Structure 1
Amino acid sequence: MNRRSLTIARTLTAAACLASPGGALAGSAAQPGQTLGLPTGAQLPVGLYLVDTSSFGVRGTLPRDSRSNVNLPTFAWSTPWQVLDARLHFFVTQPVVAASARGAPYESGLGQTLLAAQLAWDLGGDLGVSYLFGGYLPADTRFLTQSASLSHRFAASYTGNGWNLTANLLYGIFLDTRSPTGTLYPDYLNLDLTAARKFGRWQVGAVAFGSSDLPTGVAGYRPQGQFAMGGLVGYNFGPVTLQAYLTRDVVERNYGGLETRGWLRAIVPLYQDKGEVEPNRTLVTRRQGE
């Protein structure tokens, strides 16, 4: 979790918030890139999962680099219930963030808790789509986003033949556009893209993400945005899956410099309906061919 806002679960972009050049700092609830590598459009097998995504990023700001570590532990519950022919999922994410702006001493704290529900439809032919609706609760950690916000996420995934082809669009709406200290919070759009393939227990592929502030109507505000690309590798240890990916900004707008970020994720099934799980599958998805 950086600044212009997964999911899954999670989720605050502390580095970018602190690296914003001059003027009032803006905030973002969902960290860009946090859902890369996850088939967010697919149905999860019935069960309870711990999905912990941690990242460390360095942004080339002047006079010194800005650094941040974002940890997004998420509990995901895939229920056996159907709503509108979709499987019902629930998510809870509690971010923990440490950041240093332009070489300043590190600050750390708890980010905004995300509570969300998701409907995931199996369209057949290994294609799935989902809609997630949730909310980020207010927080008191002043160097992070504090205002409550709503999160809409629309995802599509193809998981056939060992592939994970996923696009996840995140749309965030702040309920209060100003923090208690006057920080402006613009609504935002994020897009996370994954194209990865399984080879036995291994998984390799390419990832990319983009993010952009939406118009605020506030004179003098400089909207922020970025687009980053990178590579991903994963391994299924059975049952625990580990994923790692590295991303680098290709372009950025008003962040003060390009960012390089390393990510590590652990997917731990705490309980699973074994009848729905494909053996040795690198990603947590349902058994195919149902």
Structure 2
Amino acid sequence: MSGLWFGNLMAGFSLTTRGIAAAVLAVYGALATTDARAGSAAQPGQTVGLPVGAQLPVGLYFVNLSSFGTRSTHPRDSSTNVNLPTFAWSTPWDVAGGRLQFFFTQLVAAASSRGAPYQSGIGQQLLAAQLAWDLGGDVGVSYLFGGYLPIQTGFLTQSASLTHRFATSYTGQDWNLTANLLYGIFLDPRSPAGTLYPDYLNLDLTATRKFGKWQVGAVAFGSTDLPTRVVGYRPQGQIAVGGLVGYNFGPVNLQAYLTRDVVARNYGGREIRGWLRAIVPLYQDTAEVEPNRTLVTRRQAE
């Protein structure tokens, strides 16, 4: 499950799914026409394309997901660039029958609200641990628990939060069919500036297939703020769909996908976003990895 779980690790970080892209929703929250601005600790869609329910081969990985999106706000469009560099360590240890894996992600983001000059800065760090179980029959499930650390970067999400992520993947017959549910809980619902941070749910979906070194298919994601008791607050949510293509260059796997909102609630407009993911194994247990496969699972490599 080398490349595939390699992706999985990104998912986990991302793991995932709304992994460190606090920037995107924090900025979009600022764009919404409401006095209580929403923020999120994870970027919707950041784990699509990855078999997050499958086990990652033992090793150390570096994964970077970079995306650029434009939202049709008025009078001018709003844009965000989100970068999620992640280190993932898949250990040789099992806990309760699941493989133990660790993730560290550091967000770097830039944003322009309605044509204003870009702001850029360092976002929240994510520290997370995951257990992934191989159920047999090319089916895997995983649970990730982690936390986003507080920061002072004003235009990004600032408050600390917890993240729970539940994923299931089918990776047989060169398919990657994955659903990843992300549940975020803020420890402090208000920033020092008064920004509201509602708890949230994200769902990232993947249906791709490998053809030799190529990987192609469809992706989708949805997100929603959970209810709050703040009078006048209008919860934000979105549904986006798109397509993905990936290629295995050998030591490096690349994935690119394009998504577009089909539903956008209280964001001020719909978004189109391009994504590029690079997966680089720094170390792998060769006994678990089959060369020249694009995002393979551990079972497929045996």
Shared fold per TM-score greater than 0.5: yes
2:247 pairs with one of 235, 238, 251? 235
Query: Whole-Å Cα distance in 2 between the matches of residues 117 and 24 of structure 1?
Result: 32
Structure 1's 247 and 275: CA in aligned 2 closer, same or farther, altered over 3 A? same
Residue identity in the other structure for 1:94: Q
Query: Whole-Å Cα distance in 2 between the matches of residues 37 and 261 of structure 1?
Result: 15
Contact 1:120–1:128 at 8 Å: present in 2 too? yes
Question: Which digits, 9 at most, give the CA deviation of each residue in 1:133-173, with x for residues without a partner?
Answer: 00000011010100000000000001111111000000000
CA shift, 1:285, in A, is: 2.9
CA shift, 1:184, in A, is: 0.6
**Secondary structure at 1:142's aligned position in 2?**
coil
Question: Which digits, 9 at most, give the CA deviation of each residue in 1:161-212, with x for residues without a partner?
Answer: 1111000000000000000011110000000000000000000000000000
Residue 175, structure 1, aligned to residue 187, structure 2: yes
**Secondary structure at 2:300's aligned position in 1?**
coil
Query: Whole-Å Cα distance in 1 between the matches of residues 264 and 49 of structure 2?
Result: 22
Contact 1:44–1:284 at 8 Å: present in 2 too? no
Query: Whole-Å Cα distance in 2 between the matches of residues 262 and 288 of structure 1?
Result: 30
Contact 2:27–2:156 at 8 Å: present in 1 too? no
1:50 pairs with one of 62, 69, 75? 62
1:17 pairs with one of 20, 23, 29? 29
Residue identity in the other structure for 1:10: I
Question: Which digits, 9 at most, give the CA deviation of each residue in 1:116-145, with x for residues without a partner?
Answer: 000000000110000000000001101010
Moved more, 275-284 or 264-273: 275-284
* Partner in structure 1 of residue 280 of structure 2: 268
* Partner in structure 1 of residue 15 of structure 2: 7
1:157 pairs with one of 169, 190, 193? 169
Cα RMSD after superposing both structures: 1.1
Query: Whole-Å Cα distance in 2 between the matches of residues 224 and 155 of structure 1?
Result: 23
Moved more, 242-251 or 271-280: 271-280
Contact 1:231–1:245 at 8 Å: present in 2 too? yes
Contact 1:186–1:214 at 8 Å: present in 2 too? yes
1:89-128 pair list within 5 angstroms: 89-128=101-140
CA shift, 1:11, in A, is: 1.8
**Secondary structure at 1:111's aligned position in 2?**
strand
Query: Whole-Å Cα distance in 2 between the matches of residues 105 and 284 of structure 1?
Result: 43
**Secondary structure at 1:113's aligned position in 2?**
strand
Contact 1:15–1:67 at 8 Å: present in 2 too? no
Residue identity in the other structure for 1:163: W
Contact 1:99–1:106 at 8 Å: present in 2 too? yes
Query: Whole-Å Cα distance in 1 between the matches of residues 34 and 115 of structure 2?
Result: 16
Residue identity in the other structure for 1:92: F
Contact 1:58–1:261 at 8 Å: present in 2 too? yes
* Partner in structure 2 of residue 148 of structure 1: 160
Q: Percent identity?
A: 78
* Partner in structure 1 of residue 84 of structure 2: 72
Residue 256, structure 1, aligned to residue 272, structure 2: no
Gaps of 5+ in 1: 1-5
Question: Which digits, 9 at most, give the CA deviation of each residue in 1:230-261, with x for residues without a partner?
Answer: 00000001121000000000011000000000
Contact 1:204–1:233 at 8 Å: present in 2 too? yes
Contact 2:20–2:123 at 8 Å: present in 1 too? no
Contact 1:51–1:268 at 8 Å: present in 2 too? yes
Query: Whole-Å Cα distance in 2 between the matches of residues 286 and 227 of structure 1?
Result: 32
Gaps of 5+ in 2: 1-13
Residue 222, structure 1, aligned to residue 262, structure 2: no
CA shift, 1:50, in A, is: 0.4
CA shift, 1:289, in A, is: 7.2
Query: Whole-Å Cα distance in 2 between the matches of residues 193 and 258 of structure 1?
Result: 19
Query: Whole-Å Cα distance in 1 between the matches of residues 169 and 264 of structure 2?
Result: 27
Query: Whole-Å Cα distance in 2 between the matches of residues 284 and 112 of structure 1?
Result: 31
Query: How many residues in Structure 1 have an aligned counterpart in Structure 2?
Result: 285
> TM-score, normalised on structure 2?
0.92
CA shift, 1:10, in A, is: 3.3
Contact 2:80–2:110 at 8 Å: present in 1 too? yes
